[in-house]
Structure 1
Amino acid sequence: MQVWTVSNQKGGVGKTTTVITLAGLLVKRGYRVLVVDVDPQASLGYYLGVDPDELPGSLFDLFHHHEQLDSDKVESVIVPTGVAQLDLLPATTALATLDRTLGTQGGMGLILKRVLSMVSHRYDAVLVDCPPVLGVLMINALAACDRLIVPVQTEFLALKGLDRMVRTLDMVGRSRGTQYPYLIVPTMFDKRTRASLQALTSLTQKYPKQLWHSVIPVDTRFRDASQAHLPPSHFNPSSRGVLAYDQLLDALLEPQGAGHV
């Protein structure tokens, strides 16, 4: 089972779109996929038509009762989606309280990794959607992942968010005595605008080894797919955005070390 975490310390850069599009494409290739929402805003659940307030359990319950974790408890909060072979481990707004209530306890950074190990027999791939804030949730998502994907909107302010994310990875890596290899994915690229072209040039110059060789273009079909509660790959598989993500997936499925990951 491969675990890919999608993270950036800026909102609105395409994290949730990246998670759900890659998940849908993996399903189409025959993978059993779990998407995990660790963002208290629960955007991933809402995208898939799941209202977290109507669910009997969520990721928050697993964190809150982490000392009594077992596979039955984990499986009890995983919900099916409207797409076969695609399941969701949902978030709730209560996740926002974890840093205050549990953040000082030892071992809190490895709970998600334990959770996923208990269902590893059920899935071929897991994609984790992160909040844009450094805290116990992001630390868990980093600790659990095999690969880190950093979407970056091709505009000036998003580049500043990327710089913060890279500093965070360096800081967390030093504290844990490990490195977090990451793949930067330029998103919402519009070749007609100077801002997009300048941002892409800046990314190429500053992060040549970590930058994916292509871009995810602006595509209004992403918005339409979210309104239909479907992965873009299932809503409009031939859209230019989906085709770009399909190329990204090819790079991610290369053996570890290829594709700058």
Structure 2
Amino acid sequence: MPVITFANTKGGAGKTTAVLLLATELERMGFRVTILDADPQYWISRWRENSGDRTKVKVVPYVTQATLEKHIQDGKREADYVLIDLPGARTPLLAKAIGYSNHVLIPIQGCSMDAQGGAHVIELMQYLADRGNIHIPFSVVLTRVNSMVTTRALQTVKALLAERRVHVMDTPIIERSAFRDVFDFGGSLHTLTTASVSNLGKARDNARAFADEVLMHEALRQQQRQGQLAALRAVA
């Protein structure tokens, strides 16, 4: 039961949108999903209230540092995937959530402020690896990318990440009105209608490609883990 944490210490990076897109696409594929809502804005919890019976995604609101471990353990028993939506700020909850994670996704917009917020998370991940020998896979996902224009700021962010040898997901999350509308209407991209939302088909394709890439990453991680266990057995 993988635990995937979404983290950026700057708010407005598209973190909660990425959580929602992944959760609803995983549900559409037949997976059981639990979201732990630790963001004090509680956008995911509000979305769940608006959704009613149009989704079976479980959202646990008001998650704190004190209750995180219990909620993760409960989520692992009940769901195939546990997603954690962290606050857009530096808090002790960040390090604790990362410690329980199988993969950390760092949403970053193509601007320097977002890059700095993401850098705080990346620095923490690298510190855990260097000082604590705690190696947790992490990836940057570029968010709110303009589908028509590649900005100089976005190129700067990509270059900065490349210099630090940070893995960037191939699938960016494009700026789409449907991604905002789903929070207002509830449900998922697949319960919205083309009559009320523009470019819905492209939004669905983008969300599916993003979820597919996350699943591919998880499959590779499992293969690597099995290979490590097989090597240890052979030595023993």
TM range (shorter): 0.7 to 0.9
Report 1:1-261 matches (<5 A).
Answer: 1-49=1-49, 82-91=53-62, 95=64, 112-174=68-130, 176-190=132-146, 191-195=148-152, 197-199=154-156, 201-203=158-160, 205-235=162-192, 238-254=200-216, 255-257=219-221
1:58-97: CA deviations, max 9, x gaps? xxxxxxxxxxxxxxxxxxxxxx9543331110127xx5xx
Gaps of 5+ in 2: 195-199, 223-236
Aligned pair in 2 of structure 1 residues 182, 236: CA closer, same or farther (>3 Å)? farther
Confirm or deny: 8 A CA contact 2:112 2:157 kept in the other structure: no
Compute the RMSD of aligned alpha carbons: 2.7
Aligned pair in 2 of structure 1 residues 215, 203: CA closer, same or farther (>3 Å)? farther
Percentage identity across paired residues of the two chains = 22
Alpha-carbon distance in 2 for matches of 1:203, 1:85: 39
* Structure 1 length-normalised TM: 0.72
Alpha-carbon distance in 2 for matches of 1:112, 1:47: 21
Aligned pair in 2 of structure 1 residues 249, 176: CA closer, same or farther (>3 Å)? same
Confirm or deny: 8 A CA contact 2:105 2:139 kept in the other structure: yes
| Residue 25 of structure 1: how far off its partner (Å) | 0.4
SS in 1 for 2:78: coil
| Residue 13 of structure 1: how far off its partner (Å) | 1.0
| Residue 28 of structure 1: how far off its partner (Å) | 0.5
Total equivalences in the alignment? 214
**Equivalent position amino acid for 2:213 in 1:** A
| Residue 131 of structure 1: how far off its partner (Å) | 0.8
1:90-138: CA deviations, max 9, x gaps? 127xx5xx6xxxxxxxxx6xx5234322342321111110112232322
**Equivalent position amino acid for 1:116 in 2:** I
Confirm or deny: 8 A CA contact 2:32 2:79 kept in the other structure: yes
| Residue 174 of structure 1: how far off its partner (Å) | 4.5
| Residue 215 of structure 1: how far off its partner (Å) | 1.5
Alpha-carbon distance in 2 for matches of 1:116, 1:181: 18
Gaps of 5+ in 1: 51-79, 99-107
